[in-house]
Chains A and B, each alone.
Chain A
């Protein structure tokens, strides 16, 4: 009997295990394999040595990722709190509005921002019309970060909101009752209690921001290369799979390190994170 049920559970889980092996574990092994080999398959560390050339790009990616994540957090935290304090019906409507842009293709949304930000785009045409000098916006770092914030904001709002919606209001009353003013309530009560949402929001915005390539190409005009762009080019244009793989590997490790640091901060005594 025991063997039979063990067999059955193996059978049931086999599609997932197969899936994981084919599409998660095997590619990882390939990434590692390519990172340490030449095009002809010999072992080498050249790919890794070569990476130092891309250090500025790595740093820029991480910097942009941090800035975009922080801006998302600053917008999402109060937004989530306000939404969570509304009536149930209002909450559903507002969350729907937050999600609505995600029903459209990511590519189309980014293209729309090009149309809005261009030198001859919506904003500048309007500025010219009312007699103000046009502002150069497209192809700047700011435009890239704007693109990241715009695209990934819902991923920050959703987890924070879902924690806040479940927040026991008597906690806030208890904090006030013990002498806490508004600032104390936010700092000592709402922030620590919504920490799980904040951490997963940060993860969900930071990871795609660091590794994005499309946003920087369209809104940065090629002058703000991020590491994702470099990786894409290795595979799409230079056909240098080995360098591409080693870049991916390092990016992966960097992200894991960042996440580990984050999680350390958000541990049980995570009151002092922000």
Chain B
């Protein structure tokens, strides 16, 4: 075991009736790290968080905190604190009393409480809000109170359950930066749950991608983005074209009827693989110079770039480019060896990475469906 591991989950399984929420989950969390549990709704990320907080008990497996098993320790005796999804601030208390709540339970002397509360309110930029009632605060301010309240009791680990979910985009970005700053300044372990991949990539030291109650991949944001382990991770983090390919030999792969050089090795000869090409890594060239050619079927202006869908032998690729190419035009694609990432086949193969049914609307609808669950 690593020296600085603060929380360890060992072989955790949880089921609600027939629904297996977590399957034999193993996870080590290092002290002072910002770790994000990332996945679609229903992937078990919130359940994992609630197990660490002590609100839920695993059917099987152990929760270990600083080397001690804490399965049966109730939430109020654990040195972890939670920022709840909808903040769960106490509406009958004002800002000051909300932040002081945990300190009063500890029976701290009044003078110390005052110092601590003032300190916490200044950390979250809410100085002078002491007497305000919770209901008079905006969403962002309530969020800050929730952070101050949890930090006031000096937790060793802070659990954040989609804390920015209710905020608008601009505020969200600001809070991301602020949360990261607070985490670095106070040197507390943050365990952050989100379904927003961008949030996960920009804030975390370590990202844990989950789906179906199973950890799909653990790694730094850069690893997760550049070296996804399977089609699920590749699709969930950013945009990906995932194509069926065959590994001819080390550093050589066939897909879309062509042979490409790549940087991956260690596969069996002629092994069927999934090939990932990120839309931003494809260069558009004239058809005669292209390694692949295809017809543009749709163009969407995204501000920074155009998002174009190209039909290559019946498979629709997404390509991001700053040059405009109108619909119906034939273009050539040039793919550098380092733009190609090879993954072993998995249960997710063939489920993702084709943009033939792609439309913005469709994407939003499926998000709504998830939320409705």
Q: Which residues of A contact B (CB under 8 A)?
A: 168, 170-171, 173-181, 184, 188-189, 192-193, 195, 268, 270-271
Contact = CB atoms under 8 A, between A and B. Distances in A.
B312 to A, nearest CB: 49
B82 A180 contact: no
Interface stretch (B14-22, B100-108, B285-293): B100-108
Interface residues of B, number: 27
Nearest to B50: A173
A171 B91 CA distance: 9
Contact of A178 (B74, B86, B91, B153): B153
A86 B311 CA distance: 56
Contact of A168 (B55, B88, B104, B149): B88
Given A188-B101, A188-B105, A178 B149 contact: yes
Contacts of A179: 76-77, 102, 105-106, 153
Interface string B212-251: 0000000000000000000000000000000000000000
Given A168-B88, A170-B84, A170-B86, A177 B76 contact: yes
B84 A174 contact: yes
30 contacts: A168-B86, A170-B84, A170-B85, A170-B86, A173-B53, A173-B55, A173-B75, A173-B88, A174-B88, A174-B90, A176-B54, A177-B75, A178-B76, A178-B149, A178-B153, A179-B76, A179-B105, A179-B106, A180-B76, A184-B76, A184-B105, A188-B104, A189-B90, A192-B90, A192-B92, A192-B93, A193-B90, A195-B92, A268-B92, A271-B92
A270 B81 CA distance: 27
B79 to A, nearest CB: 10
B146 to A, nearest CB: 9
Given A170-B84, A188-B101, A176 B76 contact: yes
A171 B53 contact: no
Given A168-B88, A170-B88, A177 B82 contact: yes
Contacts of A189: 90
Return the 8 tightest CB-CB contacts between A and B, nearest first. A178-B102, A170-B88, A174-B88, A176-B75, A192-B92, A179-B105, A176-B76, A177-B82
Given A171-B88, A177-B82, 9 more contacts: A171-B90, A176-B74, A176-B76, A178-B76, A180-B76, A188-B104, A188-B105, A192-B90, A192-B92
Contacts of A170: 84-86, 88
Q: Which of B85, B90, B92 has the most CB of A within 10 A?
A: B92
Contact of B82 (A168, A171, A174, A271): A174
A271 B101 CA distance: 13
A188 B54 CA distance: 20
A6 B318 CA distance: 64
A192 B91 CA distance: 10
A170 B49 CA distance: 14
A183 to B, nearest CB: 10
Contacts of B53: 173, 177
Contacts of A184: 76, 105
Interface in B13-43: none
A188 B100 CA distance: 12
Nearest to A173: B55
Contacts of B75: 173, 176-177
